[in-house]
Amino acid sequence: MRIAVIPGDGIGVEVTAEAVNVLRRVADVFGRQIDLETLPWGADHYLKTGVTIPPNGYAMLREFDAVFIGALGDPRVPDNRHARDILLGTRFELDLYVNYRPVQLLDDRLCPLKNRTTADVDFVVFRENTEGLYVGIGGRFKAGTDDEVAVQQEMNTYKGVHRIIRHAFEFARATGRRKVCMADKSNAMTDGHALWQRVFKELAPQYPDVEARHLYIDALALLMVQDPSQFEVIVTNNLFGDIITDLGAALQGGLGVAPSGNLHPGRTSMFEPVHGSAPPLAGKNVANPVGAILSAALMLDYLGLKHEAAAIEAAVKESVVTGNTTSDIGGKLGTRETGDYIAKAIHQT
């Protein structure tokens, strides 16, 4: 198994080191060969060479079984050009249309909501990952003047909307979940989101075993806080999915613990924590590596190593429940010590 590893910037480097530490331990314990090949792409590399991603970069990534990314973003690159090429570029060029972001509370004490338990926060968000407001279609006219006009277009295609909503229903059916909620803003975005309405109404009847519900995205944000227990599978567009998965991360203990997968089922896919490079935390050994480590578990699960993935999840849970964590979720350990604790807690299941 060959994995491309792009640690990236800031705490991305530190949390990736711990995900790698855990993957090596899994390889040992389970007797697996997992080759991890580090690619240096990130802000430093860009500032040194002027190259964000080499011309054959996406083709290189496609040759791996999976790609792991830490985080990208650096104040020295204010236009975020390298993150656009490396992170968004990988999502687009590898056509990773499913952004899979499970929101699962691992311990009651991590939930910021009163009287909520692990039973109340356990849902999955499917964020459309290849179109919407992220396609970079737009422009600025008279930039920098008082007459500036800035246009950023949202692109919704039948194919794009169809494949992500279908994926949400198929996932619900395959995993025994009974509810899919589609969230859009079709009351205001009467063209782009009319397409989401049309496709949802077209697909829902094909899944009579699954309850299909629609919410406007603002109402969804409200209900995620008021009563997250009502959600099992949520599907939404690229930007709304970005925002509500930070909200989802808050429900499960913060950005430090939220994992994600960027998938094109059957093809080389990419895995990364939901959080960014957190420049104020970088280099201090304080960042929580759990989001990255759980992303590595999602990766192994996607690659068919179910027991290995479950062993990582169990080890993370043990560290969280026993308080052997970083300070953002109440522990006293550093990034490295948390990674070590989790690695040592990996056992054959």
Q: Which of 120, 242, 308, 313 binds ligand IPM (CB under 6 A)?
A: 242
Which segments of 86-237 does DSSP mark as H helices, in order? Answer: 89-93, 158-174, 192-203, 217-226
Task: Please identify, using beta-carbon distances, which residue of 83 and 210 lies nearer to ligand IPM.
Answer: 83
- What region does 323 belong to: left with phi over 0, alpha with psi -120 to 50, or beta? left
For the question of residue 185 being annotated catalytic, the response is: yes
* CA–CA distance, 54 with 50 (Å, rounded to integer): 10
For the question of residue 65 being annotated catalytic, the response is: no
* CA–CA distance, 188 with 116 (Å, rounded to integer): 33
Residue 288 contact, options ligand NAD, ligand IPM, Mn ion, none, Cβ 5-8 Å cut-off depending on partner type = ligand NAD
Distance spanning both ends of the chain, measured CA to CA: 21
For the question of residue 158 being annotated catalytic, the response is: no
8 Å CB contact between 339 and 305: no
Task: Please identify, using beta-carbon distances, which residue of 242 and 308 lies nearer to ligand IPM.
Answer: 242
* CA–CA distance, 137 with 131 (Å, rounded to integer): 10
| Stretch binding Mn ion (CB under 5 A), from 23-31, 139-147, 238-246, 337-345 | 238-246
For the question of residue 246 being annotated catalytic, the response is: yes
Can residue 256 be called a binding residue for ligand NAD (CB under 6 A)? yes
Q: Which of 96, 215, 251, 274 binds ligand IPM (CB under 6 A)?
A: 274
Can residue 128 be called a binding residue for ligand IPM (CB under 6 A)? no
Residue 291 contact, options ligand NAD, ligand IPM, Mn ion, none, Cβ 5-8 Å cut-off depending on partner type = ligand NAD
Length in residues, the chain: 349
What is the amino acid identity at position 209? D
For the question of residue 44 being annotated catalytic, the response is: no
Closest separation between CB of residue 30 and ligand NAD, Å?
Answer: 26
8 Å CB contact between 292 and 339: no
**Which two structure tokens, joined as six digits, stand for 122?**
């356990």
8 Å CB contact between 95 and 39: no
65, 108, 185, 207: the active-site residue: 185
| Stretch binding ligand IPM (CB under 6 A), from 60-68, 81-89, 112-120, 298-306 | 81-89
Can residue 328 be called a binding residue for ligand NAD (CB under 6 A)? yes
Which segments of the chain does DSSP mark as H helices, in order? Answer: 11-30, 43-49, 57-62, 81-83, 89-93, 158-174, 192-203, 217-226, 238-251, 290-302, 306-321, 335-344
Residue 67 contact, options ligand NAD, ligand IPM, Mn ion, none, Cβ 5-8 Å cut-off depending on partner type = none
How many residues make contact with ligand IPM (CB under 6 A)? 7
Site for ligand NAD in 269-298 (CB under 6 A): 272, 275-278, 281, 287-288, 291
Residue 278 contact, options ligand IPM, ligand NAD, Mn ion, none, Cβ 5-8 Å cut-off depending on partner type = ligand NAD
Positive or negative, the Cα torsion across 104, 340, 269, 303?
A: negative
Positive or negative, the Cα torsion across 154, 52, 24, 305?
A: positive
44, 108, 122, 246: the active-site residue: 246
Q: Which of 242, 272, 301, 313 binds Mn ion (CB under 5 A)?
A: 242
* CA–CA distance, 82 with 47 (Å, rounded to integer): 10
Task: Please identify, using beta-carbon distances, which residue of 95 and 227 lies nearer to ligand IPM.
Answer: 95
The residues assigned a catalytic role are 134, 185, 218, 242, 246
Please give the residue ranges that form the binding site for ligand IPM (CB under 6 A).
73, 83, 87-88, 242, 274, 276
Interface contacts to Mn ion, rule CB under 5 A: 242
